[in-house]
Homo-oligomer: A and B are copies of this chain.
Amino acid sequence: MEHVKRIKREVVYEGTIVDFCQDTMELPDGTLQKWDLVHHRKGAAAVVAVDNDGKLVMVKQYRPALDRETLEIPAGARDSVTEDTKIAALRELEEEAGYKANKCELFFKIKSTVAFCDEFIDVYLATDLVETKQNLDPEEFIDVYHVDIDELVKKVFACEIEDSKTVAAIMAYAYKVKK
């Protein structure tokens, strides 16, 4: 397929977790355009954790990007670019929600927002949970909820849950278990 080509990438600002780049793109007719590219340095992992009552383990936290609290599946950036995302998913489940999982497998993968960002999130499905202890970073304030999948589906269609990884995860799990 004919398409634009990247001929230059310039990091114009180094952030804390992402860098802002400007790409110079060449159209097939030779025209040049500047395109934004947000580079996520580490990539991320998330986890659909199903407790022993069949409910999903959800975390509620304040998100400055939205200036309000959101209900999400546990998730976080990898510790390094070489960390296995399964390890990262299990660590976030334990740190944010206070659970270990005896079973954990890849569920699906997402790229957050392909138009201008390269962040990826590998989403795992964890079961056979064992309660441990929440272990939050100093800037994290997280409440844990156990929620029935039917209630979560209602919240998606009522636009009460909007975080993209969480919407994808809820609908994928709801599809899997729908009778």
Most chain B C-beta atoms within 10 Å of own C-beta, residue among A18, A22, A115: A115
Q: Are B64 and A36 touching (Cβ within 8 A)? A: no
Chain B residue numbers with a CB within 8 Å of A17 are 36, 115-116
Q: Are B64 and A117 touching (Cβ within 8 A)? A: no
Q: What's the Cα separation between A136 and B70 when bound, in Å?
A: 36
Q: Are B117 and A156 touching (Cβ within 8 A)? A: no
Nearest CB in chain B to that of A143: its residue: B1
With A117-B117, A164-B165, A171-B172 as contacts: A111 and B66 at CB distance below 8 Å: yes
Nearest CB in chain B to that of A34: its residue: B16
Asked if A72 lies at the interface with its beta carbon under 8 angstroms from chain B, I say yes
Copies of the polypeptide in the assembly: 2
Q: Are A36 and B23 touching (Cβ within 8 A)? A: no
Q: Are B33 and A65 touching (Cβ within 8 A)? A: no
Q: What's the Cα separation between A1 and B116 when bound, in Å?
A: 33
| Interfacial residues of chain A within 110-140, with CB under 8 A of chain B in the complex | 110-121, 138-139
Chain A positions 152 through 172: 1 when the CB is less than 8 Å from some CB of chain B, otherwise 0: 010011010011110110011
Interchain CB contact (< 8 A) of A159 among B2, B36, B44, B109: B109
Asked if A174 lies at the interface with its beta carbon under 8 angstroms from chain B, I say yes
Nearest CB in chain B to that of A2: its residue: B141
Q: Are B114 and A65 touching (Cβ within 8 A)? A: yes
8 contacts between A and B (CB under 8 A): A1-B141, A3-B69, A6-B67, A15-B36, A77-B115, A110-B163, A110-B164, A178-B178
A-B contact sample (13 more), CB < 8 A, given A12-B20, A153-B175, A174-B175? A1-B69, A3-B62, A3-B69, A3-B141, A25-B64, A63-B115, A70-B111, A108-B162, A111-B164, A112-B117, A112-B164, A113-B119, A114-B164
